[in-house]
Chain A
Amino acid sequence: MGNYSLKVNGKTVDVVADDDTPLLWVLRDELNLAGTKFGCGIGQCGACTVHVDGEATRSCLLPAAAMEGKEITTIEGLATDDKLHPVQEAWKEVDVPQCGYCQAGQIMTASAFLSKNPAPTNDDIRQAMNGNICRCAAYNRIEKAVAIASKNL
């Protein structure tokens, strides 16, 4: 059982959890941040995507204990001062979600991607988003929303 502190959404929080506990479960079960979702647990679906130092990262495979000193952002922390992130705004404009379960992961992947590539082509978007499964297949709208968001960054 380890005792460590994490920096999540700008706040430092103390965590008591087994050293091998993935960040996903620390966020969900210990820190009450249930916006980050569990889909596969093996890095295949993207539902658990968060930002670690700005990089889109699968939290289901990442031991939380190794995250000390890193800036972690989850879907709950993406909007700043109650102002939605342009990606969230675009998701609203396009009315993307069906069941909605995958969408936090999609939004986190898209926002990290656009911060690196603010003027993507459609092919860039398709490649960048290919790691995130949407079982409801809202793919057309996700694709469109990422393109719209890139224009409003």
Chain B
Amino acid sequence: MKQENKMVFSRRNFIRTSALASGGIIIGVNFLGACKETAAPPVDIAQLNFQDFNAFIKIAENGYVTIFSPNPEIGQGVKTSMPMIIAEELDVPWEHVSVEQAPLNNESFQRQVAGGSQSIRFGWDSLRQTGATAKLMLIQAAATRWGVEPNTCTASDGVITNGKGETLGYGDVVNDAAQLEVPENATLKETKDYKIIGKDATNVDIDDIITGKPLFGLDYVAEGMKYVSVLRPPAFGQTLKGFDDTEAKKVSGVTEVVQFGDKIAVLANNTWAAMKGKKALIPEWESDGKLESTEHHDQKLNALLNGGKLTIAREDGNVNKAFAEADQVVERTYESPFLPHNCMEPMNFYANVTADKVHLVGPIQTPAGTARQIADILERDEKDIHLEMTRMGGGFGRRLYGDFAREAARISDLTKKPVKVIFSREDDMAAGTYRPAIKYRIKASLKDGKVTGYHLKEASVNSNMYGLIPNFFPAGAIANYKVETGNYQSNITTGAWRAPYTNFLAFAEQSFFDELAEILEVDAVQLRLDLLDNVDEGADERIQYSASRMKETIKLAADKGNWGKSDANTYQGFAAYYSHNTHVAEVAEVTLENGLPKVKKVTVAVDCGIVVNPTGAKNQVEGGVIDGIGHAMYGDLLFNDGQPKATNFDAYRLIRMDETPIVETHFVENNLSPTGLGEPGLPPAGGALANAIKLATGQRLLKQPFAKDLGKISKDFKS
């Protein structure tokens, strides 16, 4: 079954061990290299060195284990859950394990983050193999010591036991184990024997976070470092004609002002002086006339939907024939605005460019790519670039883009000083890489009480849905099915934003199904189950969702969320969506307060395979659902002459505690390989909420943010 995500790998490609001078063993793992979905070519082990590994396990002579977590933490919990997988197979008590960020200053840049909720999915097989292999080596070392066969020994909780009941701790044999060949035949545990996986483990960095330790990029300081504020063109489409820095240079603490490209950097002895210096600059901007406004984007996207040039992303059967033969055709258009990421920690990066090396430190999700780009810009050898990752105060896609790191590198190169570029919130929101504005038009045909045709058009800014998204549900469930996409090229920078495309597509489709269910007079949950019954599982390689897993997830959500059984004052809405290899279904509950809807509760069912760390997994789902609701309700970035209209939280509304529902999460229990959770909870949330609001108010919401249309119901609703 393809959902098992089986990977092909050779252990020799990715595990290597070494004795430590100080006693103990260190085991290097290159799990990303080992886990390409196709088999990696065999690697000559003699040519590997420890720089090629991206995770390490250190077992000390006292039996305590340190796991160096490969992936920096953006908040998705992998720094806890990935080491749990190793510890399970190694079979050590979790209390004996400490987790550290993989050593910094690694010259090889192998520690790339697999974005898109993929860390656990790709790490699952190799992390388990690593733990199991290490355990087998320890058993072999103990067996040799006793002069018995390894297969007469067992190991559990850090202790090896032989047939006579004699015991040795891992620490007792660790130096012998370090001398052994890496074995090929380690067996993995059965899921029923798990002791760590599936149990709650608190975030490994909790103590540092709650006591305010300097963990984040913004907290990094280096000797002699200058704080830098950068003035960038306020509007997309503008360039710098000239500037007067007389007043800026008078600000006490400002040490230097330099231009680079269309930007001006103010260097200072502290952040405040840098920010003040930037405000004192008098720039002169010019433009080539291409300063775009929201109305312009609206027209361009409408033109695409109304007969513009689109590309077919998937086509089954003949939608036009289905529409011609239909009893009824339903068509709706859904609209969403640009969205900034608004990571809580604004963008920032440290750079020190010197003759012998380029030292970079900061929060970045793509260290390898960013290092390469900086080597390019500075015309330096990649070997000179030393990039260290810090913990990240949120990512949501924004830190995939290294613009802020490149700025820091250029400024340090120009000024020959160690610098740290710090974005203000205004900088962060105005120089974004936004979720593009998107419109969907969906048309469906109904005949004899069935959905016979489905045509989805996507009009987006700069780019379109990618990969397998056109094959997500309802692809495979409706015989005549077509997805077409097109985009308008803008000079406003856009990019990935938590659950790219599906963050809005799911809202559009899940709202649309609700309308179809209304028209067909069937229950909204039943309509989805009926459609899933049409799917011939496994018949189409491109279809990655599992109809049976989706049905089970839907039923669990309906059951736990008391679907159809709410009291008279509670209105329910339903949505289900598959993305990032995870199946999710949600029941949202809304009440009316002074005639206005308030979301009270969301019951979520998730099938993400084996749940490695339930508390961490639930935290991701809770965050994803509330994030989805918050942005559907309030998120709105409008443009006027190339300039975003909101640049701070006074004008840009993010969801706050009093607006949040209680999120209750239930997992479908199975033994399938785990899949990611950073994103999949988000896409269904907006649709579930909109469907509940429809029931509560009679208002069918087609546009995000909802606050705009809800504001029309009552002036009391502040949008």
Binding site for B on A (CB under 8 A): 1, 17-18, 20-22, 25, 28-30, 32-42, 44-45, 47, 74-76, 78-79, 84, 88, 91-92, 95, 97-104, 107, 125-127, 129-143
Whether a CB of chain A sits under 8 angstroms from the CB of B349 is no
B656–A44 CB distance below 8 A: no
Contact of B211 (CB < 8 Å), options: A21, A25, A75, A99: A75
The residue on A at minimum CB distance from B628 is A137
B272–A76 CB distance below 8 A: no
User: Contacts A29-B271, A98-B623, A139-B660; is A39 near B253 (CB within 8 Å)?
Assistant: no
User: Contacts A29-B272, A129-B657, A140-B662; is A99 near B73 (CB within 8 Å)?
Assistant: yes
Q: Give the shortest distance, in Å, between A94 (CB) and chain B (any CB).
A: 9
Task: Mark contacts of B179-218 with chain A using CB atoms, 8 A cut-off: 1 yes-contact digit, 0 otherwise.
Answer: 0000000000000000000001011011101111111101
Q: How far is the CA of A1 from the CA of B627 in the complex (A)?
A: 43
Q: How far is the CA of A30 from the CA of B269 in the complex (A)?
A: 10
The residue on B at minimum CB distance from A22 is B272
Whether a CB of chain A sits under 8 angstroms from the CB of B346 is yes
Whether a CB of chain A sits under 8 angstroms from the CB of B391 is yes
A133–B656 CB distance below 8 A: yes
Contact of B649 (CB < 8 Å), options: A45, A91, A103, A129: A45
Q: How far is the CA of A41 from the CA of B271 in the complex (A)?
A: 12
Q: Which of B19-27, B63-71, B337-345 contacts A (4 or more CB under 8 A)?
A: B337-345
A interface secondary structure, majority? loop
Q: Which residues of A contact B660 (CB under 8 A)?
A: 137, 139-140
A95–B615 CB distance below 8 A: yes
User: Contacts A18-B252, A35-B213, A75-B212; is A136 near B650 (CB within 8 Å)?
Assistant: no
User: Contacts A28-B271, A138-B622; is A98 near B214 (CB within 8 Å)?
Assistant: no
Contact of A140 (CB < 8 Å), options: B207, B209, B219, B626: B626
Whether a CB of chain A sits under 8 angstroms from the CB of B283 is no
A29–B623 CB distance below 8 A: no
User: Contacts A101-B345, A133-B656; is A39 near B425 (CB within 8 Å)?
Assistant: yes
Chain B interface extent, by class: 35 or more
User: Contacts A37-B345, A99-B393; is A29 near B270 (CB within 8 Å)?
Assistant: yes
B211–A126 CB distance below 8 A: no
Q: Which residues of A contact B616 (CB under 8 A)?
A: 95
B650–A42 CB distance below 8 A: yes
Q: How far is the CA of A70 from the CA of B657 in the complex (A)?
A: 30
Contact of A18 (CB < 8 Å), options: B74, B76, B253, B344: B253
Q: How far is the CA of A97 from the CA of B655 in the complex (A)?
A: 17
User: Contacts A92-B206, A126-B657, A136-B75; is A39 near B344 (CB within 8 Å)?
Assistant: yes
Whether a CB of chain A sits under 8 angstroms from the CB of B630 is yes
The residue on B at minimum CB distance from A103 is B209
What 8 A-B pairs come out closest when comparing CB atoms? A35-B212, A99-B75, A101-B393, A75-B212, A137-B626, A98-B75, A44-B649, A34-B219
Q: How far is the CA of A25 from the CA of B273 in the complex (A)?
A: 10
A1–B200 CB distance below 8 A: no
Contact of A76 (CB < 8 Å), options: B212, B270, B346, B425: B212
A91–B210 CB distance below 8 A: yes
Q: How far is the CA of A99 from the CA of B394 in the complex (A)?
A: 5
Q: Which residues of A contact B166 (CB under 8 A)?
A: none
Q: Which residues of A contact B255 (CB under 8 A)?
A: none
User: Contacts A103-B209, A138-B623; is A95 near B657 (CB within 8 Å)?
Assistant: no
Task: Mark contacts of B649-671 with chain A using CB atoms, 8 A cut-off: 1 yes-contact digit, 0 otherwise.
Answer: 11000111110101100000000
Q: How far is the CA of A134 from the CA of B649 in the complex (A)?
A: 12
Q: Which residues of B contact A36 (CB under 8 A)?
A: 212
Whether a CB of chain A sits under 8 angstroms from the CB of B424 is yes
Q: Which residues of B contact A98 (CB under 8 A)?
A: 75-77, 394, 619-620, 623
User: Contacts A35-B211, A130-B657; is A136 near B424 (CB within 8 Å)?
Assistant: no
